[in-house]
Amino acid sequence: MSERIYLYPLWIRLWHWTNAILCLFLIISGVSLQYSNPEFPIIRFDIAVSIHNIGGILLTLSYLVFFIGNLTTPNGKYYKIKMKGLFESLKKQFIYYTVGIFQHAEKPYPITRERKFNPLQKVSYLVAMYFFLPLMFITGWALLFPEINLRNVFGFSGLQLTSLLHVMMGFFVSVFLMVHIYFCTIGTTALSNFKSMIDGWH
């Protein structure tokens, strides 16, 4: 077994699991609100509204911890992308996931202390954390205070368009979460990556 690396400091682990639990609550309550049906209620509408509001506020605070943490600790460096050779490295990693992994090939970008994410992870985490989530927070807070929305945007309700964007971001984050959880099973064992996020050691 290769040398173990302490890759996930305590604050990252606490943030990660807080984030994960809040995201689950928000996705379930969000789906319940979007597809509310009196005959098959996932969660009673008013309860779902409260869960979603409280969950959204807490997730914003949790995101601020992540954002400030990445600015003030070495963890931020893992999200920096070099455009030179990016496409090639993405292609290499994609081929590994679709072909190489089944042939037990060497990982093209194994985890080291300097490289926590492979290129595909880096790009997808960057998009999720610095594009999807901020847009989700902006639209979510706008929906929490509906009166601040533009009443009419090119003939459509401003609130409607804000909601549409919010739901779309929610959808992308849900897809990200599914793929993220699945890829976490691609470790030394199916559970090793989950354990890493508990004790911090990879």
Partner 1 sequence: MIFKMKTYSKDILLLITGFLLLIASVFAADEKEVPQNIILNQKCFKCHGAKFYTFFNESQGKNVKERMNPYFVIDSATFYASNHKSFICTDCHSPEYKNFPHDGNLRMEAKFICMDCHGGDDTFAKFNFEGIESEFQKSVHSSRHDESFTCWMCHNPHSYKISARNTTNLSQTIAYDNAICLNCHADIDNYQMLTEKENPNILTTHDWLPNQKLHFSNVRCIECHAQNNDSILVAHLILPKEKAVKKCVQCHQSNSILLASLYKYQSKERRNQAGFFNAAILNESYIIGANRNLYLNIISLVIFGFVILGIAIHTVIRIIKK
| Residue 36 contacts partner 1 per CB under 8 A | yes
Whole-Å CA distances, 32 to 35, 52, 132, 157, 189: 5, 10, 21, 22, 35
The reply to whether 154 sits near partner 1 by the rule CB under 8 A is no
Q: Which stretch binds partner 1 (CB under 8 A): 1-9, 11-19, 73-81, 164-172?
A: 164-172
Please report which helix (H) or strand (E) contains residue 172, including its range: helix 158-184
Toward partner 1, which CB reaches closer, 86 or 148?
148
**Dihedral through CA 147, CA 47, CA 53, CA 26, nearest 10?**
-130
- The alpha carbon dihedral of 83, 171, 133, 201 has a sign of negative
Would you count residue 106 as binding partner 1 (CB under 8 A)? no
Cβ-based nearer residue to partner 1, 72 or 189:
189
CB of 172 to partner 1, least distance (A): 9
Stretch that binds partner 1, among 6-14, 111-119, 132-140, 173-181 (CB under 8 A): 173-181
Task: In whole angstroms, give the CA distance from residue 110 to residue 122.
Answer: 13
Sign of the alpha-carbon dihedral angle for 152, 147, 45, 53 = positive
Q: Does 103 bind partner 1 (CB under 8 A)?
A: yes
Binding interface with partner 1 (CB under 8 A): 33-38, 41, 45-46, 49, 101-104, 146-147, 155-157, 159-160, 163-164, 167-168, 171, 174-175, 178-179, 182, 186
